Amino acid sequence: MRFDIVTIFPAMVEQVLSAGIVGRAISRGTLDVTVHDLRDFTTDRHRVVDDVPYGGGPGMVLKPEPIFRALETIERDGGARPLVLLTSPQGTRLTQEVVQRLSRAAHLVLLCGRYEGVDERVRCRVDEEISIGDYVLSGGEVPALVIVDAIARLVPGVVGDQQSVADDSFSRGLLDFPQYTRPAEMVPPADGPAVVAGTMKVPDVLLSGNHAEIRRWRKREAVSRTLARRPDLLDTATLDDEERAILRTLKEQEHERH
Ligand code: SAM
């Protein structure tokens, strides 16, 4: 899968992309990511990418022409027309469902805004605006990295074990089950809250070697966690028969308690 990221801070984006799962996928050629410096698409001596807003007011606005030139260059080099995404707090909220939809594109271009944002006319070249949440960041670089990382996990060959992606929170509408590693038992931290004491031993079932029991325990934990923390997800979750039965039992138990 191919990504092109257009930014005024290429070093910031490249630094993050070089690490971890995404970094390895880029080195192996599973992902093709190019970071473009917006200033390379200016035509003036000072490589100016921003200007004051018409109508007055604080801050600066990213000029449209360098962005249009960057898109022209990327499209000329890239063959089929890519899907152009503008990072924006006003866009479609990024969810795992949106990530899944975007991962079906072969080529994505991500435009990173800065300052007060981009000139409104840029939107005529944008297929979709994407927000990573209802808060305002200083720039689109972190959102672009979030989008690339979330999509990359769904590209075959990027994450070593596809089952771990299938089990991830939200992939079927359930939160992931709790994970433990060694040691099997440990002394609670002296300053930890009292409730921690009960969780310092790994649940026996995970040490039992009984894979059927472990699978069932994990399903039960995933369903009960989702019910406790994000019951809204259960309205649209894709549950199998066993998970539906677990949910019914949990709801009955809750009902009896009240
Ligand atoms: N004035 C703009 C507004 O209120 O809609 C906010 C501009 S923000 C300071 C600068 C840039 O950061 C935006 O153009 C966008 O690229 C990026 N950005 C900020 N918050 C974002 C979010 N929640 N999701 C995606 N991009 C965001």
Closest alpha carbon to 59 in 1, 133, 107, 113: 113
Task: Please check whether residues 154 and 32 belong to one and the same domain.
Answer: yes
**CB of 82 closer than 8 Å to CB of 108:** yes
| 31, 82: one domain | yes
Task: State pLDDT tens for residues 25-60.
Answer: 999 999 999 999 999 999 999 999 999 999 999 999
- Examine the residue annotation and report whether 116 is marked as an active-site residue of this protein: yes
Domain that holds residue 185: 169-257
Does residue 177 share a domain with residue 131? Answer: no
Residue ranges with strand state E in 138-200: none
What's the gap in Å between 70 CA and the centre of ligand 1? 20
Residue 161 is a catalytic residue: no
pLDDT score, position 26: 98
Q: Tell whether 173 and 157 lie within a shared domain.
A: no
pLDDT digits (tens, 9 = 90+) for 93-103: 999 999 999 99
The predicted pLDDT at position 222 comes to 97
Q: Tell whether 85 and 154 lie within a shared domain.
A: yes
Identify the CATH number of the domain in which residue 149 sits: 3.40.1280.10
Question: Last residue of some domain: 162, 194, 225?
Answer: 162
Q: Report the predicted TM-score, pTM, of the whole model to 2 decimal places.
A: 0.94
Three-state SS string over 7-55 comes to ECCHHHHHHHHCCHHHHHHHHHCCCEEEEEEHHHHCCCCCCCCEECCCC
The reply to whether 20 and 138 lie within a common domain is yes
Indicate whether residue 173 lines ligand 1 (CB < 6 A).
no
Whole-number percent of the chain with pLDDT over 70: 97
Q: How far apart are CA 21 and CA 103, in angstroms?
A: 16
Q: Assign 122 to helix, strand or coil.
A: helix
Backbone dihedral region for residue 170 (phi beyond 0: left; psi -120 to 50: alpha; all else: beta): left
Q: Which of 111, 141, 162 is the last residue of a domain?
A: 162
Q: Where among 162, 196, 219 does a domain terminate?
A: 162
**Tens-digit pLDDT profile for residues 110-144:** 999 999 999 999 999 999 999 999 999 999 999 99
Pick from 99, 137, 148 the residue to mutate for probing ligand 1's pocket: most ligand atoms within 8 Å of its CB. Answer: 137
Q: How many domains does the chain have?
A: 2
Does 58 qualify as catalytic in the annotation? no
The whole-number pLDDT of residue 199 equals 64
Residues 250, 156 share a domain = no
Check whether residue 41 and residue 150 sit in a common domain: yes
Question: Could you tell me what percentage of the chain is helix, strand and coil, using 3-state DSSP and rounding each to the nearest 5?
Answer: 45, 15, 40
CATH number at residue 193: 1.10.1270.20
What tokens were used for 90?
Answer: 């006003």
* Ligand 1 proximity of 117 Cβ (cutoff 6 Å): yes
| pLDDT per position as a tens digit, 208-230 | 999 999 999 999 999 999 999 99
| Mean pLDDT within 18-26 | 98
* 89 pLDDT higher than 80: yes
What pLDDT, on a 0 to 100 scale, did the predictor assign at position 239? 96
